[in-house]
Structure 1
């Protein structure tokens, strides 16, 4: 007699995934360059091509628009070559904006520049933080929970500040590998209750927490993590991620997602890819 459980599992159709339109904020890499090093990916001696960075960034923006998302653009500021990484500029939940206070002096002026954009565009509930936090680089919302990174950039004390401001539970996660210095380099949100992540980027206790909360998460191997495959954006169906992350692309297809590989190799020279360029305003 055949296994009833297996037969039912094979016959039960997967719930169709649907894309949710998002409102996104991006910043053109008009002044992009690598003139200093604040993470292991940055080498000022390695030449960069601003024209290529602009082309790759524009392709990403056009892809978002073609998928039905609304893209707002903040004006870049000369002298801030990393301002293209809009995800670091703030954290937005339910229209409330927690500003970003950067750890390294080279990026400190980005926080006020982004907060000024929000003030000029009708946002009223703004908070300039007391503690260092680097925006959505270290704060990712999964449903009605915030995952918050610490270890290299964001001060763990900011987690309580974010919880009090947003009124959502905040789960702290400690990063231990300097190559994955922000949470969004080691973990991506796929839906309201699904994530993918690279376990080795986290402390043992944080790995245990992730297994407890997300037992069915998509796990990345070292190869996909090394090409920034987890620096991705998902609308619930379409997952935009570096095209070199072939293993993750396959696993996402198996889960019913529509992975879309993109090329942002020029921006990767500064340690950024899809999610780094994308601040979610939804």
Structure 2
């Protein structure tokens, strides 16, 4: 079935985990008592980068900065649509300085960068589907990003924005509970969302691939897809079977060390939409 799914070349931003460690705990997955194999984290990250470039995608690399161990989760630094970059404003002080590093990257690259006034964590809580209902932003709130940022993103990016309430702290960012499989459809774990938000998702995406708790717990929703190839955490075997059954090609990558910080494939990858 996979031949019916058409991939589209993408451009991504990643940041190597040279300073990565779990030095604090700001989500339920982080445990400062659990050691991180820093060397293995770098190898796993590099394998993810090579997987994306091997699929024909371009990957820009953001230089990591000391004392910012979560910079590896590059998706959180901004959200881009049609050459406009809506910057991040992190909730927790430990990550605040990451925003400036991302801003410098976008400004140096000639992007129309818009500084936020509201707390938001970039593509961690925003997803864009250019062919869904004429171009639609899905926006999560409940743990990190403030609802007011959804209105700000809509104003800045000029796309209708649908707010979705996250209710399970294990799935603290939208990208741990929902992912775009292509330019018009998504996969998501219903249990991560409020009853009202589940209703909205059913209306918007009647053909969505539904994940279960085991898929979500294995970070199976924290994926990157080019419309055909779905790159996801190797632990998420059930999710891999679901996307294969829907006609996509699952590409498994081991990211055990990055999961210790509360992230997986998508957290490490921001999509750049020039």
TM-score normalized by the length of structure 1 = 0.94
Q: Structure 2: how far apart are the matches of 1:244 and 1:84? A: 20
Q: CA deviation at 1:49?
A: 1.1
Q: Structure 2: how far apart are the matches of 1:230 and 1:181? A: 12
1:97 aligns with 2:88: no
Alignment of 1:13-92 (within 5 A): 16-92=4-80
Corresponding residue for 2:137?
A: 146
Which consecutive segments of 4 or more residues in structure 1 shift more than 2 A?
Answer: none
Corresponding residue for 2:254?
A: 263
Corresponding residue for 1:126?
A: 113
Corresponding residue for 1:228?
A: 219
> Does the CA-based 8 Å contact 2:119-2:146 persist in structure 1?
yes
Corresponding residue for 1:243?
A: 234
Q: Structure 1: how far apart are the matches of 2:17 and 2:236? A: 23
Unaligned runs of 5+ in 1: 1-12
Q: CA deviation at 1:14?
A: 8.6
Corresponding residue for 2:195?
A: 204
> Does the CA-based 8 Å contact 2:189-2:212 persist in structure 1?
yes
Aligned residues: 269
1:189 aligns with 2:177: no
> Does the CA-based 8 Å contact 2:151-2:161 persist in structure 1?
yes
Q: CA deviation at 1:241?
A: 0.7
Structure with larger Rg:
1
> Does the CA-based 8 Å contact 2:139-2:150 persist in structure 1?
yes
Q: CA deviation at 1:193?
A: 1.5
1:180 aligns with 2:171: yes
RMSD value over aligned CA atoms?
A: 1.1
Q: Select between 245-254 and 153-162 the one with higher mean Cα deviation.
A: 245-254
Q: CA deviation at 1:248?
A: 1.5
> Does the CA-based 8 Å contact 2:143-2:166 persist in structure 1?
yes
Corresponding residue for 2:95?
A: 107
Q: Structure 2: how far apart are the matches of 1:139 and 1:173? A: 10
Q: Deviations over 1:213-268 (max 9, x none)?
A: 01111111111110100000000000001122122211211111001111101000
Q: Structure 2: how far apart are the matches of 1:31 and 1:251? A: 35
SS at match of 2:199: helix
SS at match of 2:42: helix
Q: Structure 2: how far apart are the matches of 1:227 and 1:82? A: 20
Q: Deviations over 1:50-100 (max 9, x none)?
A: 101000000000011100000000100000000000000100100100000
Corresponding residue for 2:123?
A: 136
